[in-house]
A and B are shown apart, each in its own frame.
Chain A
Amino acid sequence: MNTATRALTRPPGWVLIPGLLGAAVILLPVIGMMSRLKWTELPALLTAPASLDALRLSVWTALVATVLCLLLGVPLALLLAHARFRGLTVVRSVILLPLVLPPVVGGLALLYTFGSQGMLSGALEFFGIRVAYTSLAVVLAMTFVSMPFLVISVETAVRGMDPEIIEAATVDGASRTGILRHMVLPLIGPGLISGAVLAFARSLGEFGATLAFAGSQQGVTRTLPLEIYLQRETDPDAAVALSLLLIAVAVVVISLAYSRSRTVH
């Protein structure tokens, strides 16, 4: 944003108060949680094998899910942004369904589809693919709940592009794939990155669908949120420590992604 537009978007002074209250709604509970933290026990709690396994699993499955969201969600968003037909609104609402569904229900839906008794169990067995109780189930659950975040961001970005630029390129005789690669993708870069960041963050925090679909086994399916939920049963201090670990990972990844996007554009 340059200085001129920045001056134009300057809000009236009174928004400061509700704005700060808005920040407090989000920050206060986090501060409240930190007040319960036993700092001296932190290193031991965080380096326990169960914690490290959960952290490792969470990070790699969330990354794979984000890549899947990008590979499948960007084409879907391009289609949605271009499509003009009756019932498009319905199609879009269905695609955004994971945002509305309680994650546990999403997990059950995945179970009834990819579970060993699910709709696709015959086909999966034929190809020798096992989903239930594997890390693949974790990735699937994450991809299911995170995809809409990416699709919305990218579709909005595509719709916001200046059609004249694309038009000029078409006149120049560029192929559609060429236009997509050299013009559309760079133009929607910021939307793409914020969509991917949202998808990653949502994947990292995924709990309900994973619990209902994948199960809970150390190192295989028990991600950080599941480990937190389990630790809460006997050791609330460990649960608080792990929650802060989750927050730290999310903050680091998100700020890295945004700072990268700023240097690119």
Chain B
Amino acid sequence: MDHTVNLTRARITAATTAVVLLTACADSDTRDQGAAESITVFAAASLHEVFEDIAELYTEETGTAVTFNVAGSSGLVEQLENGAPADVLATADEATMERAVEGDLIAGEPALFAENYLVIVTPADNPAGVQSLADLGDDAVETVICAEQVPCGAATGRITEASGVQITPVSEETSVTDVLGRVRNGEAEAGLVYATDALQAGDEVEAIEIEGAEEDPNLYPIAVVDHAAEPEAGEEFIDFVLTDEQAQQILTEAGFVEPQEHDAA
């Protein structure tokens, strides 16, 4: 028994040495002296896939690994309030970021890196024949929306108020993915989700643009967290998201829109 254990241990040591050597080589090739080994990014659920892709590019370029904590925006802020360690925070709306700023959880000014706007989705065969937002005012159309407490619900409230359409939903979900889920499996005839969600669902849903929705989007802010362990690397990551061409392309392909000037709502 002892023998086997020792053998395994020897192998592990050899393997570890090899890895350490390899990493050391990689380090001297691509990384500046004193660069951070890894950063922790708190990202809103809707950013999960795009940020994973962007982080891969970022790590390739800088050698800094990125660890993610993905959750609903307000959940992330709550975790920060309770002392969770993070370097970067990216939320799905400005209101949630504002909460973090007011709680002195953010260093410096948040920067806007993307926009997302609402669209109507229906099951692929559009059983209720929905064509516009006004059709959702008909109570016979089983519609699900986000609850007003979450960012997509706040956006829904702004849209319905601006258009004067009264929607009586059959359910108000806590997350936009739940709204999409109910439309996807045909349990609802229509739902309001972000353009990025509709794109992600592909052929399973029909997406219908809402007039004026693009002018009143949700803005995605990103910022370095106060007391970050790696504030410089965090800044570098934010810079990468904001300016790298490939990063921008990943965002656009997922349905996000570059932030632009809007009339104050």
**Which residue of chain B lies nearest to A134 when distances are taken between CB atoms in the complex?**
B170
Of A111, A216, A221, A229, the residue contacting B187 (CB under 8 A) is: A111
| Inter-subunit contact B74/A233 (CB<8 Å) | yes
Partner of B171, one of A216, A233, A234: A216
Count of chain A residues with Cβ under 8 Å from any Cβ of B? 23
Measured in the bound complex, the distance between the Cα atoms of B7 and A118 in whole Å is 57
Main secondary structure of the interface of B (DSSP, over half): loop
Q: Which residue of B lies closest to A229 (CB)?
A: B174
Residues of A contacting B72 in the complex (Cβ-Cβ under 8 angstroms): 233
Chain B residue with Cβ nearest A236: B78
Which residues 142-194 of B have a CB within 8 angstroms of A? 142, 144, 147, 149-150, 169-174, 178, 182, 185-187
| Contact assessment for B173 and A215 in the assembled complex, using a CB-CB cutoff below 8 Å | yes
In the bound complex, residues from chain B placing their C-beta under 8 Å from that of A217 are 169-172
Q: Which residues of chain B are within 8 angstroms of A215 by Cβ–Cβ distance? A: 144, 170-173, 182
Chain A, 200-235, CB within 8 A of any chain B CB: 211, 214-218, 221-222, 226, 229-235
Name which residue of chain B comes closest to A215, CB basis: B171
Given contacts A133-B142, A233-B149, A234-B149, contact A117 B174 (CB under 8 A): no
- Are the CB atoms of A133 and B170 closer together than 8 Å? yes
Contacts A115-B185, A211-B174, A217-B172; A234 near B74 (Cβ below 8 A) = yes
A156 at the interface (CB under 8 A from B): no
A68 contacts the other chain (CB 8 A): no
Closest beta carbon of chain B to A127's beta carbon, Å: 19
B171 and A116 contacting across the interface, CB-CB below 8 Å: no
A95 / chain B contacts, CB cutoff of 8 Å: none
CB-defined contacts of B150 to chain A, threshold 8 Å: 233
Q: Could you tell me the distance in whole angstroms from the C-beta of B144 to the nearest C-beta in chain A? A: 7
Binary CB contact string for chain B from 214 to 250 against chain A (1 if under 8 A, 0 otherwise): 0000000000000000000000000000000000000
